[in-house]
Amino acid sequence: MTTLKLLKENIGSDLGKPSKMPGYSWGISADLCITGGTLIKLEGSVCENCYAMKGNYRYPSVTKSHANRIAAYNKNNIIWREGMVELLRKRIPDDAPIVDKYFRIFDAGDIQSEQMLIDWIFVAEQLPDIKFWLPTKEYRIIRKFKGDIPDNLIIRVSSPNINQEPLNFAHTSTVHEESPFGFECEAYTRDHKCGSCRACWNKEIPNVSYPEQ
């Protein structure tokens, strides 16, 4: 059994635990977003006012954790993914309540490569009792990938512009100003908290539409 200290070293830092979402999360700096790095410069894009480029995400402790995470991944992705599996199991044990077995990949940042996608798939496959949600705008990486996605991992591909319809992927997300596309996220009615809602992790919901804030 690897010590908690060594596990944190192997993956760069501990997991995140956003107060407004269920369970734990993992993220890296939004400065590293590939597609988002272009979208943030475009008026009307969903990245124009990126939440992960301001507020708490710019605190020194957060930027340090983000930097340590990507450094650990780039150093040795095999050690990283095995450490991630073990740390997740420590944080979300087998006997944890079902309501706590939800994990968000990228509460900030996005996929850096097809290999990173493969590594997260590996993590999900080792922990079939945990539901993983991966939101992304890395369209080329998702289109190129031809492997299998485990049942407990949902990849939601985000439309790049506000008020744009869902893209042609199995599971998607959108941002709307007035009329939602399909299921509307109502976190804004709960102080921007998920509460008991788990729609983003639900494969029976093709698209989740977020109100523009």
Question: Is residue 188 a contact partner of residue 213, using CB atoms and an 8 Å limit?
Answer: yes
Q: Considering only CA atoms, which of 184, 185, 177, 118 is closest in space to residue 153?
A: 118
User: What's the token pair of residue 111?
Assistant: 């996929």
Contact 129, 101 (CB under 8 A): yes
φ/ψ (deg, to 5) at 113? -165, 165
- Per residue of the chain (213 residues), give pLDDT as tens: 689 899 999 999 999 998 888 899 999 999 999 999 999 999 999 999 998 888 888 889 999 999 999 999 999 999 999 999 999 999 999 999 998 899 999 999 999 999 999 999 999 999 999 999 999 999 999 999 999 999 999 999 999 999 999 999 999 999 999 999 999 999 999 999 999 999 999 999 999 999 997
Q: What are residue 84's phi and psi, to 5 degrees?
A: -65, -40
Cα–Cα distance between 162 and 45 in angstroms, integer? 6
Rounded to whole angstroms, how far apart are CA atoms 201 and 208? 10
Q: What is the CA radius of gyration of the chain?
A: 17
* Cα–chain center distance at 23: 12
